[in-house]
Amino acid sequence: MATSLCYAPNDAAKILGIGRSTLFNLLARGELSARKLGTRTLITAAELERYVGSLPQAKFHAHLAARG
């Protein structure tokens, strides 16, 4: 998928690897913000990057890393 300035909710959910309802829950809770263009709901690429950057870092246990 080419890099776009904005994404429709379905596309934004695919990019994040989550379902559409989870995406709308994030929007409803204010964890992710959207813009309106007429009747279209759009989520900017910058907002997706901001959201992902706000997520906690994953922690891995040393014994799992040793498995390779």
Burial category of 28 from C-beta neighbours within 10 Å (exposed 0-12, middle 13-18, buried 19 and up): exposed
SS3 at position 35: strand
Mean pLDDT by 10 residues, the chain (68 residues): 85 97 98 97 97 93 65
pLDDT of residue 67: 63
